[in-house]
Amino acid sequence: MCPPGAGAYSLQQNAKYKFTIDMKIKTLGLLIACATLGAFAQDRALLETLVKKGMLTQQEAAQIAKESVAVVPGSKDTKSIKITGGMQDWYNWYQADNKVDTISGPAGEQPQDNGFYLRYVKLGVEAEVGSGWSAILMTDFGIEGAERNYLDRVVVSKQVALDYLTGRFDVGMQKVNFGLEQNEDDFAQITIERSLVTWFFTRPDSNISVNSDVRKNFGSRAVGLFWNGTVKQAEGLYYGLSVVGGNSYEGQGAAFISNKDGDNNLTFYSNAGYKNLFTIQDEGIAYDFGMNFGYASGGFVWENAAGDTENRSIIGINPYITFRWRGLTFVSEFFLQSVQDGKYDAATTYYQGTATPLGTNFTIAYRYDIGEWGSVEPVARYSWLQTGGMGVTGDGIDGDITVNDLAYDFAKQVFIGANWYVASSVKFSAGYEWAQYTGFAGVSGDYRTTSNGLRAQLQILF
């Protein structure tokens, strides 16, 4: 006999599954229609050119157009539509080993993660509609996309070019300017996966606690208003401002808990930087340095013993610097946050007292040509994290790292690998990743977990 409610639950699951399939079919149908529209627009332009050159009469051109598939844009102002996208196929092997003192409990291996993934599967439309207006709809059917309703970026943009105001104004959903590695395009990463430091400071699913009702909603994708500008009078100087909703758009769970009990406060981000080129003995060296800043009045969210949601503020800074010379790339960034009532108290299982987590990433790579075989790029990255008492249980991709349901206070990670650019649109990457977590937040004792992992990916863009 089925338990009470089992039939209703099954119907709900089936309805949810059907909705997911319908969403995919409708989205793919939309993109196919846009591709057809683009082809038609090109044919129409060709016919107009042939008429102007006297190779066709206007009547002949009209007859040819009439016999063609008549797909027209919704607005006569549409200038161009471009279909773009890419895919990443992953292999991931991961294993963690625990070490604890004799008082606290068992040590040993945790379950392995060993398998293949479709990390990113993106398909999108970019439209230019004239007068500086444009729109982007990018979907993602990879392993993360389902948590965002298969959306990756959805914005309407307006280019502005005035005497003292130049830049682009965006409205919609995209990443905020916080975290240099996080804001790098998913297909432009020189390491296969972002570091545990980047996950901790910029993602709501960063595993800061074994309790799923704890979220640090700061950074990454959000819905709101965005401005990215430059200064004509100071070439190389750039800046940005954004006002977004109080929740991240990285997952339905994060969006749900961050909006509980009226926690819909706005979050503010700003950034400024300078990039240019200098030469040494006729050798050009490109550099870029700057600072990202953010304030979220309700950025840290957790449930107390009574089941009520507690909302606390976060202030964060993120200075960074990059150098590029010939095939050499060097990237460094630093994170510092102040989280109100962010310290975890293991004795009471409550969060109390200001936490000041900090961390850093150092990445170096060198790309060189190997003739008809394309180019190869060895890459290495070192990351270090101190959570300030908040705790961390993993990086979100490789799962939780816990002992006795506690979170670690310190972590460090090393990635060593290489990218092989077979062609401009095809890349194969492989690498080894090592990480170590030590010191439980709010608990004394000898605790340590060491993880080892192998990653490989095949990427193609179109």
Instruction: Kindly report, residue by residue over 260-319, the tens digit of the pLDDT.
Output: 444 557 899 999 999 998 887 777 889 999 999 999 988 888 777 777 777 889 999 999
Residue 247, SS3?
Answer: coil
Query: Comparing 197 with 298, which gets the higher pLDDT?
Result: 197
Mean pLDDT taken over the chain: 81
71 falls in which pLDDT band (50, 70, 90)? low
Q: What is the mean pLDDT of residues 127-144?
A: 91
Q: How many helices (DSSP H) and strands (DSSP E) are in the chain?
A: 5, 21
3-class secondary-structure state, position 452: strand
* Under 8 Å between Cβ of 147 and 250: yes
pLDDT tens for each residue of 319-329 = 999 999 989 99
Query: Looking at the DSSP assignment, which residues form a beta bridge with residue 415?
Result: 381, 433
**For 26-35, 184-193, 263-272, 444-453, which range has the lowest pLDDT when averaged over its residues?**
26-35
pLDDT at 27: 52
Q: How far apart are CA 49 and CA 43, in angstroms?
A: 10
Predicted local distance difference test score (pLDDT) of residue 203: 86
Q: How far apart are the C-alpha atoms of 44 and 72, rounded to whole Å?
A: 10
Residue 220 pLDDT more than 70? yes
Does position 430 have pLDDT exceeding 70, yes or no? yes
- Residues 140-180: pLDDT tens digits? 999 888 877 888 999 999 999 988 889 999 999 999 999 99
- Going by their DSSP bridges, the two strands 368-369 and 408-423 should be labelled as unpaired
* Chain centroid offset of residue 236 CA: 25
The tokens of 287 are what? 């550099």
Residue pair 318/291 in contact (Cβ under 8 Å)? The answer is: yes
Q: Dump pLDDT digits (tens) for 91-128.
A: 999 888 777 654 444 555 566 788 998 999 999 999 99
Residue 68 has a pLDDT of 57
| Measured distance CA(35)–CA(73) in Å, rounded | 11
Would you give the distance in Å from CA 113 to the centre of its chain? 22
Q: Please spell the DSSP secondary structure of 36-80, one letter per residue.
A: HHHHHHHHHHHHHHHHHTTSS-HHHHHHHHHHS-----SSTT--E
Q: Tell me if residue 22 falls in helix, strand or coil.
A: helix
Q: 123 versus 245: which is more confidently predicted?
A: 123
Strand-pairing partners, residue 153, are: 138
Other residues' Cβ atoms within 10 Å of the Cβ of residue 436: 16
Q: Is the pTM of this model over 0.85?
A: no
Burial 63-90 (b: 16+ CB within 10 A, else e): eeeeeeeeeebeeeebeebeeebbbbbb
Please tell me the predicted confidence (pLDDT) of residue 212: 65
Containing 432, the helix (H) or strand (E) segment is strand 426-440
**Contact present, 239 and 209 (Cβ < 8 Å):** no
CA distance 313 to 349: 20
What confidence tens digit (pLDDT) does each residue in 371-386 have? 999 999 999 999 999 9
Instruction: Indicate the DSSP class of residue 110.
Output: P
348-361 mean pLDDT: 88
Structure tokens at 247: 């929740």
Has residue 5 got a pLDDT over 60?
A: no
Least confident of 330-344, 419-433, 441-455: 441-455
Query: Among the listed ranges 130-134, 192-196, 248-252, which one has the minimum average pLDDT value?
Result: 248-252
What percentage of the chain reaches a pLDDT higher than 90? 46
